[in-house]
Structure 1
């Protein structure tokens, strides 16, 4: 994590220099604002990674002599197949179509979104994926 933190800090320095240079030369506010926002995001990510790297043990990516297999192991928990994101996508599409065609369409999209949302949140409390 130390390496990634340094990379983002250096990226933020570069973004700041480019934002100032672009702002002075172009006098265009939208691009200058976007570059300053990119600078802010890079600083936040770099600070978080550098701060977290101090609190955790050194990882294989911090060792210059490490192999790819040194970081092998359990990556985390990933959900099995789920139909709930499809329900949320259909409900979201209906909601955005309601903005285009008429607000009345939101009355039909809200139940679909709520069913998908509650189904996704409580997916592990019932059925075959139930946790003990």
Structure 2
């Protein structure tokens, strides 16, 4: 994670330089603002990765003499099947379409978003995990 943190911090420095040059040269506010926001986002991600890298053990990607197999193993739990992302995606698509079509479409997309979001968050709070 140290390498990724350094990469994002250096990328943010580059984007800052480009934003300053672009802002002075073009005097166009939208692109300049977008570049400064990209600088801020890269800086936040780089700081987070660098801060987290100091708190955890050294990973195989930080060791120059590590093999690819050193990082092998279980990555975590991923849900094998879930319909909730589909509902959330449809609701989000309708919500973004409501900007172009009409705000009335937001009333139809809100239930999809709410059911998809709550269903996804509480998907595994059934059976033995359920709180009484």
Instruction: Give me the TM-score of the superposition, normalised by structure 1.
Output: 0.80
Count of residues in Structure 1 that have an aligned counterpart in Structure 2: 129
Hey, which bits of structure 1, 4+ residues long, moved more than 6 A? none
Distance 1:20 1:55 in 2: 34
Could you list the per-position Cα deviations for residues 91-123 of structure 1 after superposition, in whole angstroms to 9, with x for gaps in the alignment?
Answer: 4445555562562x5554444444333332332
RMSD of the TM alignment (CA)? Answer: 2.4
What per-residue deviation string (whole Å, max 9, x for no partner) do you get for residues 15-57 of structure 1?
A: 1111111111111111111111111111111111111111111
Q: Distance in 2 between matches of 1:2 and 1:51?
A: 9
Quickly say closer, same or farther: Cα 1:106–1:39, change in 2 above 3 A: closer
- Counterpart of 1:76? 76
In structure 2, the gaps of 5 or more residues are none
* TM-score, normalised with respect to structure 2: 0.80
Counterpart position of 1:26: 26
Rate the CA distance shift 1:117–1:5 in 2: closer, same or farther, 3 A: closer
Q: Which residue does the alignment assign to 2:56?
A: 56
